Amino acid sequence: MAPGGLMRHYQHQRDHTPDPERRRDAERVLEDLRSLCRAAQCNEEQAEHTTLTGLLEHAAGLHAQELDAVSDRRITVSTIHRAKGTEAQLVALLGYEEQLLPSWRSVSSPDPERLAEERRLFYVAATRATDRLLITHVVERGRRATGGPSRFLAEAGLHQAPSSLAA
């Protein structure tokens, strides 16, 4: 590991590794580490006696409770897996790009079931909205081009399919 801890190690991998797959993995780990740091800070501000278990539950969203939308205007952040069986008036799906959803692992896998499972997850996420659905994708992240909008958006008729993915 590079001197300076996990962040510096993965920043070094992201910036100096010739293998593009390892660079993408390093960037994802950095995003996860930043999310964990934000969750730790939030958990510390909200809890008097913070425990590692409490922090990890908070970071994973396991502390979330179903809320009455009329009396409680809080925002619940969740993973697609955790959202199954729940609904919300507004659902925002962020980062719906090729290489993220579907993941680069599923896209490059010879097993078509991996891609089909991620398609099902997209459907689950998109159908959680009762009133409004907001889906975002970006062209560039961290000054690096993304894979473009997720193919699932085009398949659902929510975005025009690029010619390279139309098939």
pLDDT tens digits, residue range 91-143? 888 888 898 888 888 888 899 898 898 898 888 888 888 888 888 888 888 88
Dump the DSSP string for 53-113: HHHHHHHHTTT-----TTT--------HHHHTT--EEEEEE---BTBBTTBHHHHH-S-HH
Reported pTM: 0.50
Q: How confident is the model at residue 64 (pLDDT cuts 50, 70, 90)?
A: very low
137's tokens: 């994708």
Encode pLDDT of 77-93 as tens digits.
777 777 777 888 888 88
| Predicted pLDDT at 57 | 62
Domain boundaries, the chain: 1-63, 66-167
d(CA 147, CA 138): 9
d(CA 35, CA 101): 19
List, in sequence order, every residue forming a beta bridge with 99; answer none if it has no partner: 103
Which class in CATH covers the domain with range 66-167?
Answer: alpha beta
Question: Under DSSP, is residue 117 helix (H, G, I), strand (E, B) or coil?
Answer: helix
Q: Determine which of 11-20, 48-57, 126-135 has the lowest per-residue pLDDT on average.
A: 48-57
Cα dist. 52→72, 76, 141, 159 in Å? 28, 21, 31, 42
Whether the CB-CB separation of 94 and 141 falls below 8 Å is answered with no
pLDDT at 52 over 70: no
pLDDT: is 37 or 43 the higher one? Answer: 37
pLDDT at 62 over 60: no
